[in-house]
Amino acid sequence: MSNPPPRANFIARLFNVQPHEAGAVVAGLSLFFLLFTGYFMLRPVRETMGVAGGVDNLQWLFTGTFIATLLAMPLFGWLAARASRRRILPWTFGFFASNLIVFALLFLWRADDVWIARAFYIWLSVFNLLSISLAWSVLADLFAVNQAKRLFALMAGGASLGGLVGPLLGTLLVEPLGHAGLVFLSAAFLVGSIFATVWLQHWRDRQPLRANDVAARARPLGGNPFAGATAVFKSPYLMVIALFVVLLASVSTFLYFEQARLVAEHFPDKTRQTQVFGTIDTIVQSLAILTQIFITGQVARKLGVGVLLVVVPIVTAAGFLWLALAPTFAVFAVVMVVRRAGEYALVRPGREMLYTVVGDEEKYKAKNFNDTVVYRGADALSGWVKAALDHIAQQPALAMFIGAGIALVWAGTGGWLGRAQHRRELATPEPVPPAHVAPAKP
């Protein structure tokens, strides 16, 4: 067999990718790129829909999202128990793509209907967490722990690239295509992500982690629709991950409410609001992708997962204090950009690495319970808390001080999880591939 060209060797060393992993990295990156491009085209539309329903009603939208998530999770649990692991994502994404087509037709029919706007806001909020969580479940299922530390951040770069392209497309196309056209286009991107996932599954079939790997992924997980919740409540490790998610969601919600309030005050026009939201997303993803490609993987390998989970909460606490002292749109924009870029580049890959040391059922069911029901429940609760604080104090400083305290607890929880993940990694033997497959180098 001929040796790879020097340029290929240089690229492999630069990104720490083994030759047999290159195709999988491209497929994983494409999966996230297509998924996030479609979602981030619609994210500014969702924010505009939320403002259209009234900034004072956002807590109701968060509550509606939580209720919709509670209804969706047993359905997903039923599918995960009966479909083979390799088919869970294609079937789920196919269903979501059909939903998007229905919403596009509704927007063409009644573009200014506030109840359709609210339904879309809730639907996209459920779709967002469930689809992203499921994509990460597939990667946690297909890659060993040592591969995850090297490759997850690189593949997450596809998410940031999609998060960069999506807002640009949304900002440029919202006027000529309208909201309905953006929704149709997003459905096409979602279908494309299904094909990337199918290719990734076939790659792992050719290079199985274990002797029974292919057969195991062809079997359903079994269990009942509520197995994800029971698995979380039975495991202290998964319970602390749930707490981490609650704190993350609470911090995000406090900042989200400030975003809605400030944008509504400064930009009353709907098209302008969509463009402002898209611009913020573009800046966030530009910073995130550079961090993911060149920094995150190195930090994870050399300093451990815990560092990824602690840095952003500490910086966020400082940002809350800054906002309490200077509650302007310019300051908010800086804090929001840094917090979100850090979450995508550091916290998200680190959080997904936590699931590489749990069982197959936990990777799909417990993970999705934490990422959806727990997250949206924290969203709803913290939304009401934020609204109550604003009503009582009549100014946002109190909520910002409380947000700083929550962020510090979030940092402590991330440090504990990093240590616990490392202990589990040391106690977990490396998978043994079949004899005819060369094992991956660490």
DSSP 21: G
In angstroms, the CA 397 to CA 325 distance is: 7
In angstroms, the CA 155 to CA 359 distance is: 22
Q: What pLDDT was estimated at residue 59? A: 66
Q: What domains does the chain contain, in order, with CATH numbers?
A: 18-427 (1.20.1250.20)
In angstroms, the CA 186 to CA 96 distance is: 11
In angstroms, the CA 382 to CA 246 distance is: 9
In angstroms, the CA 118 to CA 400 distance is: 27
**Residue whose C-alpha is closest to residue 376's, from 242, 265, 259, 276:** 242
In angstroms, the CA 314 to CA 302 distance is: 20
Q: What pLDDT was estimated at residue 217? A: 78
pLDDT in tens, the chain (442 residues): 445 455 445 556 666 777 778 888 889 999 999 999 998 888 767 666 655 555 556 667 777 777 888 888 888 888 888 888 888 899 999 999 999 999 889 888 876 677 777 888 888 888 888 898 899 888 988 888 788 878 888 888 888 788 778 878 887 887 788 878 888 999 999 999 999 999 999 998 888 777 677 777 777 777 767 788 888 999 999 999 999 999 998 888 888 777 777 777 777 676 677 677 777 777 887 888 888 777 777 787 778 888 889 999 999 999 989 988 887 778 888 888 888 888 888 898 888 889 988 887 888 888 888 888 888 888 778 877 777 776 776 666 777 888 899 999 999 999 999 999 989 888 766 665 555 444 444 3
434, 297, 26, 127: CA torsion to nearest 10:
100
Q: What pLDDT was estimated at residue 1? A: 40
Question: Which residues lie closer than 8 Å to 24 by C-beta, 6 or more apart?
Answer: 142, 143, 151, 200, 203, 204
